[in-house]
Amino acid sequence: MKECDLCRVSRTYWLITISATVIVLLTIMVLWLSFNSSSELDDRYNSTGQMQLSSGKIIDVSHTIRFKDGRFYAMTKQNNAILETSGQVEYGFLGSYRLRVEKGDVTALTGETDKELVFNLMYGRHKGSTIRLVPFHSCLYGLETRQVYCPTKQARSL
């Protein structure tokens, strides 16, 4: 090989190495900037409103959740059922979080409860269940449980 050919190969290798390094560093920077720690949530969130069951009946609903030191404590009251859960808050990217249920109890559940309502309540009480919270305006929305939580300072009726 000629000396000039070796220079081109060396420059090409150098450019590829530098480009790959820059891409990796930019990716790490984007991930770092979009990371939210659970301590950013430390506050009380709630919402109240009404929900229409599959039977057409309308019931009152209230959700309250407290985030403190990487943990959450939640209570949901829907008609004649109360769900209490607690667990760990896991960090999230792009404004989302994941709640990992460690303990949950449903009380005062009767036979007239809607099937979809029962599913949401039962899912949220099982140890190990995860509930993803995503930003919804200035509030948080639980994808699996279809619950909206707004900061107490600006809690609004749904």
Q: Where along the chain do its domains lie?
A: 3-36, 38-154
Q: According to the model, what pLDDT value does residue 146 have? A: 79
d(CA 36, CA 158): 26
Distances (CA, A) of 117 to 100, 104, 152, 155: 20, 16, 24, 23
Lowest mean pLDDT among 62-76, 81-95, 99-113, 116-130: 116-130
Least confident of 25-29, 44-48, 85-89: 25-29
Determine the straight-line distance between the first and last CA of the chain, rounded to whole angstroms. Answer: 74
Region 106-119: what's the mean pLDDT?
63
Average pLDDT over residues 54-83: 84
Best CA proximity match to 95, nearest among 154, 34, 32: 34
C-alpha Rg value of the chain to the nearest Å: 24
- Report how far Cα 104 is from the mean position of its chain's Cα atoms: 18
The region that residue 97 occupies, defined by phi over 0 for left and psi between -120 and 50 for alpha, beta otherwise, is: beta
> Average pLDDT in the 73-95 region?
81
Instruction: Look up the pTM and report it.
Output: 0.64
Per-residue model confidence (pLDDT) at position 155:
44
- With pLDDT > 90 as the criterion, what percentage of the chain qualifies? 1
Separation CA 106–CA 153 (nearest Å): 28
Q: How confident is the model at residue 49 (pLDDT cuts 50, 70, 90)?
A: confident
Does domain 38-154 fall under CATH 2.40.128? My reply is: yes
Q: Classify the phi-psi angles of 146: left when phi > 0, otherwise alpha if psi is within -120 to 50, otherwise beta.
A: left
